[in-house]
Amino acid sequence: MKKFKSVTCWIVMRVLFRALQVLAKTDSRLKAGIKTYPNRYVFRLRAGLGENAPVLSFKVKNDGFALAKNSAKADMDITIKSIEDAFALFTGQVGIARAYAEHRFFLKGNPYESMGLVRALEIAESYLFPPFIADKLDVPNCEYNPLKLFALMCVKV
């Protein structure tokens, strides 16, 4: 069961990254949020503490996001404590704010700067999850139809 959760988290992290890439170009709130980070600012998201835990490293590049090498030094490193917590977070069972309140992840980096990433993740969740889940997670409303996001995710933006 852990392997299933690990693979699911890896897939969701890639979809989430692609959504962030598209939203950085199309959502005004995300565009404004990215401008607060310097170019080449590296984020790392790790789903679990193990050596084989799924990892996503990405950086700010030209007012958007690009993949970064996992070996790159991260300016902000968010490590979710267990694969079970990561699975709950990435499948919409738990929101980011609740996960933070329940100490389900570690943050290495500036807590003030992390709020911009949390906001970006919440905006992405509002597009990726259906309304009945998004409402439960208390994420902001979409600026446009989520189907447009899915269409844009399939093409190069």
> Tens-of-pLDDT digits for all 157 residues of the chain?
889 999 999 999 999 999 999 999 998 998 888 888 989 999 999 998 888 899 999 999 988 899 999 888 999 999 999 999 999 999 989 888 888 889 999 999 888 888 888 888 888 888 888 888 877 777 777 777 777 787 887 877 6
By three-state DSSP, how is residue 53 classified?
Answer: coil
d(CA 103, CA 146): 30
* Tokens read off for 89: 């977070």
E strands in 3-157: 42-47, 55-60, 65-67, 76-80, 105-108
By three-state DSSP, how is residue 101 classified?
Answer: helix
d(CA 13, CA 57): 10
d(CA 12, CA 114): 20
Domain annotation for the chain: domains and CATH numbers? 2-153 (3.30.1050.10)
Entry pTM? 0.87
d(CA 84, CA 24): 29
Residue the block writes with tokens 């607060």: 36
